[in-house]
Amino acid sequence: MQSKIKIRKKYVPKGLTVLYDDRDIIVIDKSPGLLSMETASEKERTAHNLLSKYVKKGNPKSKINLFVVHRLDQKTSGVMIFAKSLEVKENFEKQWKNVEKKYIALVAGHFKEKNAVFESYLADGDDYKVRSVSNPKKGKFAKTKYKVIKEFKKCSLLEIDLITGKKNQIRVHMSENGHPIIGDVKYGSKIKGRLALHALSIKFKHPFSNEEMLFTTEQPDFLQLIK
C-alpha cells in the first residue's frame, strides 16, 4: 500500500523500517532486540522514541505525539502501528477485536494436529514469567490459532493467528504445549540466538477513512538458526 506521506528513507533510524505514513498513522517493521516503548531502564533505543524523532526530523516544531497502538516483545520482530493522536489510538481500540494479526514462528518438534487452537488464562508470575492458570479470575483469556506450514527434521514452521493479544501469549502457548519457539530460552528453547517469532502481517480498517488496509512484511530466514 502506497504511503500518503513520502518516506524519507535516509532519516529512518536503524532498527526499523517505515512501511506507511499518513496524517493519522505510521506503520513500521521493527527489528528484533528493539523495545516497542520506553521502560524504566531504557528510554532512548525504543521504536517509539526513534520514530518520534523521525516524525519531527525537518520539522522541530511539529506537535505530533505518537501513541503505541500495540506492542511487540523486545525480541519479536515485525509489523507495528503507531497513532499520531490519542483520538486515533482510541479509534483503534474500538475495532481491535476485529484486527487480523498473523505471525510466523519456528518451533521445536512436530505437531499431531496440524491446525488447531490453544486457549488458556495467562498470569504474570513472581519470576517475571507468564503462565497459564486454572482459575479464570487470576488470569487473562488468551487464544492462539496455529497452522503448520512446513516441517523440518526437528522443528516446524507455523503461521499463527493472534486472536487475543496478551503478554508473551504465543511464546507461552507454544512452550506449555511442548513446542517452545526456537531461540526462546526463557520459555524452554535449547537453542540460543534470536527469537524465531515475527509479526508477519496486520489487517485493519483505517481509523478515519474506514479503508481496509493490509500490511505484510518480509519473512525472516529462521532456518539459519538451527544449522
Residue ranges of domains in the chain, CATH in brackets: 9-226 (3.30.2350.10)
21 carries an active-site annotation:
no
Q: Annotated catalytic residue: which of 22, 24, 29, 73?
A: 73
Buried b (16+ CB within 10 A) or exposed e, 138-163: ebbebbbbbebeeeeeebbbbbbebb
| Grouped pLDDT means (10 residues each) for the chain, 227 residues | 87 92 96 89 86 80 85 95 95 93 97 96 91 94 97 95 94 97 95 94 94 94 79
Query: In this structure, which amino acid lies at residue 11?
Result: Y
- pLDDT for residue 38: 85
Question: What is the reported pLDDT for 1?
Answer: 78
The CA distance from 105 to 225, in Å, is: 12
